[in-house]
Amino acid sequence: MIRRTLACMLTFGLVACATPPSSPPPSPETKTAPPARDDGHKGPAEAAPEAAAAAAPPVDLTPVPFEVARAAFIRNTAARHGLEPDYIASVLDQAQVRQPIIAAMARPAERVKPWNEYRPMFITQARIEGGRKFLAQHRDELMRVQQRTGVPAEVIVAIIGVESSYGANTGSHRVLDALYTLAFYYPRSGDPAKLEREVRRELFFRDELANLFVLARDEKLDITGLKGSYAGAMGMGQFMPSSYLDYAVDGNGDGRRDLFTSYDDVFSSIANYFVKKGGWVRGGQVAVPATLAPGREEFNPTEWAPTWSLDALARRGYQPSAPVQPGATATPVTLEGSTGKQYWLGFQNYYAITRYNISKMYAMSVFQLSQAIAGQELPPA
The confidence band for 180, taking pLDDT boundaries of 50, 70 and 90, is very high
Which uninterrupted H or E stretch holds 366? helix 360-373
Decide if 353 contacts 362 (C-beta within 8 A). yes
Each residue of 192-219: b (16+ CB within 10 Å) or e? Answer: eeeeeebbbbbbbbbbbbbbbbbbbeeb
Contacts of 72 (CB under 8 A, 6+ apart): 64
Q: What is the pLDDT of residue 111?
A: 84
Q: What is the pLDDT of residue 54?
A: 53
CA distance 192 to 198: 10
Residues taking part in catalysis: 163
Residue 330 pairs with which residues in a beta bridge?
308
pLDDT > 90? residue 10: no
pLDDT > 50? residue 29: no
Q: What is the mean pLDDT of residues 25-32?
A: 31
The confidence band for 16, taking pLDDT boundaries of 50, 70 and 90, is very low
Q: Tell how strand 308-309 and strand 329-337 pair up.
A: antiparallel
CA distance 47 to 306: 21
Contacts of 75 (CB under 8 A, 6+ apart): 85
pLDDT > 50? residue 74: yes
The confidence band for 44, taking pLDDT boundaries of 50, 70 and 90, is low
Burial class, 53, CB count within 10 angstroms (exposed 0-12 / middle 13-18 / buried 19+): middle
Q: Which of 57-66, 186-195, 213-222 bottoms out in mean pLDDT, i.e. has the lowest?
A: 57-66
Q: What is the pLDDT of residue 5?
A: 40
Q: Tell how strand 340-346 and strand 329-337 pair up.
A: antiparallel
Which uninterrupted H or E stretch holds 165? none
Q: What is the pLDDT of residue 225?
A: 97
Residue 292 pairs with which residues in a beta bridge?
318
C-alpha dist (Å) from residue 216 to 41, 156, 257, 286, 295: 20, 25, 11, 35, 57
CA distance 26 to 258: 41
Q: What is the pLDDT of residue 313?
A: 97
DSSP 298: P
Q: Tell how strand 227-228 and strand 318-320 pair up.
A: unpaired
pLDDT > 80? residue 380: yes
Q: Which residue has the higher pLDDT, 43 or 94?
A: 94
Q: Which residue has the higher pLDDT, 34 or 131?
A: 131
CA distance 350 to 286: 5
pLDDT > 90? residue 4: no
Which tens digits make up the pLDDT trace of 318-356?
Answer: 999 999 999 999 999 999 999 999 999 999 999 999 999
The confidence band for 109, taking pLDDT boundaries of 50, 70 and 90, is confident
* Cis, bond preceding 13 (omega within 30 deg of 0): yes
Average pLDDT of the chain is 88
Q: What is the pLDDT of residue 57?
A: 84
Q: What is the mean pLDDT of residues 268-273?
A: 98
Q: What is the mean pLDDT of residues 185-189?
A: 96
Q: What is the pLDDT of residue 55?
A: 62
